[in-house]
Amino acid sequence: MAIYRADGNGEVDLCRDAALCGTYEGVEPMGLLWSMRAAAPHKYFHWTKAVTPHMVRFSVHDGVDMEEEEQGGALAEATNERVLMAEGVTREVVSLGRCSAVLFTPPGEGLFPGVLDLSSFASEKRPSLLANKGFVVLSVGLFYDKPAKVKHMELDYLEEALRLLQQHPKVGSDGLGVIGRSKAGDIALSLASFVPGVRALVWINACSANIGVPLHYRGQRVLSPLSVDSSKIIPTSDGANIIKFGTGDPNDKANRSSRIPVEKANAHFLFLASEDDLNYNSRAYMESLAARLRQAGNNNIESVCYPRAGHLLEPPYGPYCHSGLHGFLRIPVKWGGEPRAHACAEVLAWRKMEEFLRSRLNCQHAETKAKL
C-alpha cells in the first residue's frame, strides 16, 4: 500500500509522483508490485506455471489518514493480468529421467541460443521470460521428490538435458548456457565442471561446494555434501532463523571432498551475489570461486555484488520475500535484504544476465517482446 497526493486534476502518475508513505516512499513506478506483502508470515510467492496469469487487483481510496492509516471507500478498482509468456512462445513438458522438464521455445525459425535453467523446485517464471527474449530454455526442477527422501542427486539426467537442447532444431549455438540459484547454483557449477558443453554459466547466490546430499555421476559419488553445524543457526524473534553461519567452509581440509572442481570447467562465468544474503555467505563464495578460476588460468569471469539485496534474486517486479520455509531444513529462514534495494538489484541482475547470455552464446536470434 502507498499513499499519494493527487494533482489538481485528481490524477496520480506513478512515473512522476512520489509516494508519501506506505510500504515504500518516493517515485517507484513498480512499487505497488515489489512491495506487496504476504498475508501470513514466512510465505513465498512461487510462480510454478507460466500458462497461468497472476491477477493483481488495485484499488484507489480517498480520505486516508496518514497517521492512523485509515482509508475511505474505494473510488476505483482495476485488475492487472500479469502474463509470463509472450505471444508465440510455446511451452512443452518433456520427460527427463526421473523428473519432468518444461521446454520454452520462442516464435520464428531461429536459430536461438540454448539455456538450461535449473531451480531447486519447479519454477517457470525465469525460463519463460528468457524465452520471450529469444532463448530456447529447458527448465528443470532438481527435486523430483520431497528433499528428505532424496538420498543423492545425479548429474546424468542433467547431461541428458544438455544433449536434448543441443539437438533441438531451433538451437544454433554450439555451447549452452546454464543458470542456477541457491542449491541449483552449486549443481550448475558441478555440471559445468564434470560435463562438457557448457559455454556460459550464471551463478546466483549459491555455494562453492556441494550442499545437502551427495552428488553422483555415471554411477559414482563425485562430491560429498558440505558439512552443516546446526548449533550456528540463529533463531530470531519473528520465528525465522538465520542459517548463513551454519554452513561449513569449503576451503577447510575436512570439506575438500565437497568442493566443486570448478577449475575443470571450460566456460564463461557470471557470478551474482547479494551482500545481505542471510542464507549463504554468497559474496565470500563468489570471491573464492573467482580466485580459484583465475589461479587456474580462466579469466572469463564477471562478478557483481549487490548491496542490501537478499538471497532470492529473481526476475524483477515480484513481491519481496523477507522470510520463508527452507526447502531442505523445513524451518522458516530469513532471506535478507532491504525491499527497495533488493527490487533495484533484481532489475540490474536481470539485465546483466540477459546481456551476458546473449554475448556469450552468439547465434542468430529473433528477439521478441516480453509482457512482463
At residue 52, the 3 state secondary structure works out as coil
Per the prediction, the chain carries an average pLDDT of: 90
pLDDT digits (tens, 9 = 90+) for 255-288: 999 999 999 999 999 999 999 999 999 999 999 9
Q: Which of 35, 120, 128, 311 is catalytic?
A: 311
Contact of 308 with 318, CB cutoff 8 Å: no
Report whether 206 contacts 180 (CB < 8 A): yes
**61 vs 308 pLDDT, higher one:** 308
Kindly list the structural domains of the chain, giving each domain's residue range(s) and its CATH number in brackets, ordered by start. 1-35+51-83 (2.60.40.2240), 90-360 (3.40.50.1820)
Distance CA 123, CA 127 (A): 8
Neighbours of 25 (CB within 10 A): 14
Residue type, 74: A
SS3 290: helix
Catalytic residue, chosen from 277, 282, 322, 326, is 277
Edge-to-edge order in the sheet of strand 332-334: 234-235, 241-242, 332-334, 323-325
Look up 311 and say whether it is catalytic. yes
pLDDT higher than 50, residue 367 = no
Rounded CA gap, 103 and 201, in Å? 19
Model confidence at 371: pLDDT above 60: no
Q: Look up 182 and say whether it is catalytic.
A: yes
Integer Cα distance of 247 and 207 in angstroms? 9
Q: For the chain, what percent of residues have pLDDT higher than 70? A: 94
Indicate whether 39 pLDDT > 90.
no
- For 152, 229, 240, 243, 299, the CA distances from 234, given in Å and listed in that order, are 27, 11, 9, 6, 37
More confident residue, 367 or 119: 119
Q: Quick: pLDDT tens for 229-260.
A: 999 999 999 999 999 999 989 999 999 999 99
Q: Give me the sign of the Cα torsion angle 176, 138, 125, 284.
A: negative
Scanning the chain, the segments in alpha helix (DSSP H) are 31-34, 125-132, 156-166, 183-194, 282-295, 339-360
Q: Note the pLDDT tens digit of each residue in 48-102.
A: 788 888 889 998 988 665 455 556 678 889 999 989 999 999 999 998 877 779 9
Q: Provide the pLDDT for residue 296.
A: 94
**SS3 readout for 56-71:** EEEEEECCCECCCCEC
pTM of the predicted model over 0.85: yes
CB-based contacts of 27: which residues, under 8 Å, 6+ apart?
14, 15, 16, 17, 18, 19
Residues 351-363 have a mean pLDDT of 93
Provide the pLDDT for residue 10: 85
Task: Identify the pLDDT of residue 145.
Answer: 66
Give residue 72's pLDDT: 64
Over 60: is that where the pLDDT of 9 sits?
yes
Identify which has the larger pLDDT, 175 or 195: 195
**Residue 54 and residue 36: Cα distance in Å, rounded?**
13
Q: What is the pLDDT of residue 46?
A: 72
- The catalytic position among 123, 173, 182, 274 is 182
**216 a catalytic residue:** no
| Span of 43-47, 124-128, 283-287, 313-317 with lowest mean pLDDT | 43-47
β-strand pairing of 215-217 with 220-223: antiparallel
Provide mean pLDDT across the span 7-36: 92
Handedness of CA 263, 255, 313, 215 (dihedral sign): positive
Of the candidates 127, 54, 141, the residue with the CA atom closest to the CA atom of residue 90:
127
| pLDDT at site 70 | 56
